[in-house]
Amino acid sequence: MAIGQHGQQDNLPSEILQLLSKHEPILSSEALPSQKAADVKGALDRLASRSMVKYDTIDREEAILEDEGAEIEANGSHEARVFEALRKAVEGLTVKELEAAIGDKKAASVGQGKAFKSKWIAKAKDGRLIASIDSIQDTTREQLQIIQKTRTHPDPKVIADLKKRKLVKMQKVISYEVSKGPKFALEMVKEETDLTADMLASGVWKTAAFKPYNFKSLGADQNAGALHPLNKVRHEFRQIFFEMGFEEMPTNRFVETGFWNFDALFVPQQHPARDLQDTFYISDPKTADKPHAERKDDKADYDAYWNNVKDVHQEGKYGSIGYRYPWAEDESLRLVLRTHTTAISTAMLHKLASKKGPDGRPPPARYFSIDRVFRNETVDATHLAEFHQVEGVIADYGLSLGGLMEFMEIFFSKMGIEDLRFKPAYNPYTEPSMEIFSFHKGLNKLVEIGNSGMFRPEMLEAMGLPKDLRVFGWGLSLERPTMIKYKVNNIRELLGHKVDLAFIERNPAVRLEKT
Ligand code: PHE
């Protein structure tokens, strides 16, 4: 009966049992010289798991002949061959004749040197080489013959010497010393792997041999799905936001109008960020309708908002002198791939303006989003034309900058980023604006982790939000913390067709060292 998954090695276990029935113990290297050690071990393990055999592993070193050693073992040492050639030639030989007789120039020259040294040969008066004794003993050949037969030599000095002469080398050999186990038999009984209803009904279970559990066997590889590192870090960010009472914004629109992406944020129409070099514009269709309510329950006033945005850019409003340029409707209706998720925050804040809290005024709110944005950038090791933004906004009455800096410290400490530094910065839509830095211990320098600021009255009051409702926002990329966390230096190893699937599958699930 063929048992096991080893195919051709199926008869190896019974061969071992046969050998053991004749005498024990057996040494696998002697009894099964042509079998591979791994196959023998496989067969022995199967037999040992049924207690049919016991075995010990023996590691030893064997001496085996190198090519030159094998040649000497077969034909004699060089010096012996030189001696034999000269002994046969009654008149002696010239060096040339000797070479021809041996048929190996190197053997002839090496052999001559050694034979002279041992005084086996001499030079005659006429310059010819002659044998100077009747017989010699070819010790090297005899030593090699012993090694060829026994794979060792009784005198370790001999092996050391032959090794030095590069005639033999040592080789590690694994062998198994096998003897009968308590359940030794010539036949391998089929072992049951399952207890079935039939076996219970027929009573066979009482006598059946059950295969013991193998607690050492490794589980089969699971070909399961894996989450992308960006997804895992995103999940962690979402948890932090939810924990701090934030509501997730719907970010399922990659295409926006210039209005939501720029104008509503008080970004002037001639601002460099609106250049073709920085922003992807849609060519078909080129423009969208004017902003309007998309759902019945949307009570926000879009027309007044549109006019307010136009006025604040063109003439100034809400105490601001504006930019004072002719504001173009067409520019505002152009379709763009959104360059930041602040476009979504803006739409959400505009809706907030029409909400009424218990006191009849818009209630405080905390919103966040994590999604993709697009910028017409030159692609390099750290930049792609698209990335993910993590963005948060807090709207509340009487917010102060100091309080918000503290909030940032709490927020970033939840992902293990501490010791923040704030640097004044510029955004068209926030005042004041602050870049957020943190000291990176690995890089031993301050690295920028985000951008933030208080949204301007030009933006908020145009929406109809009350003057004393302050809104603070901040944004960072999802890629940067992910790359730092997973030690990825090239963004193309994280995103795109060059991503190594094994990298995705084997990454740990837990990344942010929370403090
Ligand atoms: N939109 C900014 C950016 O793209 C981030 C930001 C959001 C800044 C909100 C201030 C307020 O970097």
Q: What is the 435 CA–ligand 1 centroid distance (Å)?
A: 10
Q: How much is the mean pLDDT over the chain?
A: 90
CA distance 515 to 507: 22
Give the type of residue at 154: P
Q: What is the 427 CA–ligand 1 centroid distance (Å)?
A: 8
Instruction: Categorize the per-residue pLDDT at 1 as very low, low, confident or very high, splitting at 50, 70 and 90.
Output: very low
CA distance 442 to 419: 14
Beta bridge pairs of residue 337: 255
How does pLDDT run across 387-397, given as a tens digit for each residue? 999 999 999 99
Q: Identify whether the C-beta of residue 32 lies closer than 8 Å to the C-beta of residue 153.
A: no
Question: What number is the average pLDDT over the span 152-181?
Answer: 93
Positive or negative torsion for Cα 151, 157, 162, 163: positive
How does pLDDT run across 474-496, given as a tens digit for each residue? 999 999 888 877 888 888 888 88
Mutating to test ligand 1, I would choose from 340, 404, 470 the residue with most ligand atoms within 8 A of its C-beta, which is 340
Ligand 1 in reach of 427 Cβ (< 6 A): yes
How does pLDDT run across 414-423, given as a tens digit for each residue? 888 888 999 9
Ligand 1 in reach of 342 Cβ (< 6 A): yes
User: Smallest Cα–Cα separation from 469: which of 477, 461, 458, 480?
Assistant: 461
User: Smallest Cα–Cα separation from 62: which of 143, 193, 168?
Assistant: 168
3-state secondary structure 126-179: CCCEEECCCCCCCHHHHHHHHHHHHCCCCCHHHHHHHHHCCCEEEEEEEEEEEE
The pTM of this model reads 0.62
Q: Identify whether the C-beta of residue 148 lies closer than 8 Å to the C-beta of residue 71.
A: no
The pLDDT of residue 81: 94
Q: What is the 474 CA–ligand 1 centroid distance (Å)?
A: 5
Task: Report the relative pairing of strands 53-65 and 445-455 from DSSP bridges.
Answer: unpaired
User: Smallest Cα–Cα separation from 233: which of 381, 366, 390?
Assistant: 390
CB < 8 Å & 24+ apart, contacts of 23-28: 24/178, 24/179, 24/180, 25/177, 25/178, 25/179, 26/177, 26/178, 26/179, 27/58, 27/175, 27/176, 27/177, 27/178, 28/175, 28/176, 28/177, 28/178
Does residue 6 surpass a pLDDT of 50? no
Could you tell me the domains of the chain? 78-137 (1.10.10.10), 231-506 (3.30.930.10)
- Chain-centroid distance of CA 10 in Å reads 38
Question: What number is the average pLDDT over the span 251-262?
Answer: 96
Mutating to test ligand 1, I would choose from 370, 377, 391 the residue with most ligand atoms within 8 A of its C-beta, which is 391
